[in-house]
Amino acid sequence: MTGAKTQPPAEVVLFADGACSGNPGPGGWAYILRHPKSGKEREASGAEPQTTNNRMELTAVIRGLAALRRPTTVEVVTDSVYVGKGLSEWLPKWKANGWRRREGRHFKPVKNEDLWRELDQLLSRHTVRFTHIRGHSGHPENERCDALAVAAYQKFLPRQ
């Protein structure tokens, strides 16, 4: 084969976590993006006054992927089974069914459809694989993301 070779996209690891005080309640999200070859890291977090844990888990992944400036191969590391199954199993079915999910013999709207659609757009730009880890099991990056997410929503808690 002749011609110029294109370089494969950079490999990064995205650690992501969401947290909520109540469900629904004040919630936070956080991510750490790591480029293993260079050792560079970037972290960010944010919060919403009234949300759910699943929305914060999704938001953490969305914000992390959105921070990437070019198409990238990404390993998403999260303790969220919801995000993992959504990425690897549910999303293709939801899209094929017009963003509806089967519940018994009926179809119902996909929960958090706005965020799943946003994530779907980002997935079209990046090559993503999912790795599930146990939450609160001492995984350093997951613990860091959890601490950042919890700290982010503190401003929405009532003062004692």
- How far apart are alpha carbons 155 and 111 in whole angstroms? 27
Tokens of 53: 């844990």
CA separation (Å) from 3 to 6, 71?
A: 9, 22
CA separation (Å) from 6 to 2, 17, 71?
A: 12, 33, 13
User: Which amino acid belongs to residue 127?
Assistant: T
Tallying the residues shown for the chain, one arrives at 160
Of the candidates 25, 19, 21, 24, the one whose C-alpha atom is nearest the C-alpha of residue 145 is: 19
Would you name the residues annotated as active-site residues?
17-18, 57, 79, 136, 146
Q: HSE-up of 56 (CA within 13 Å, CB side)? A: 31
CB-CB contact of 138 with 83 (8 Å): no
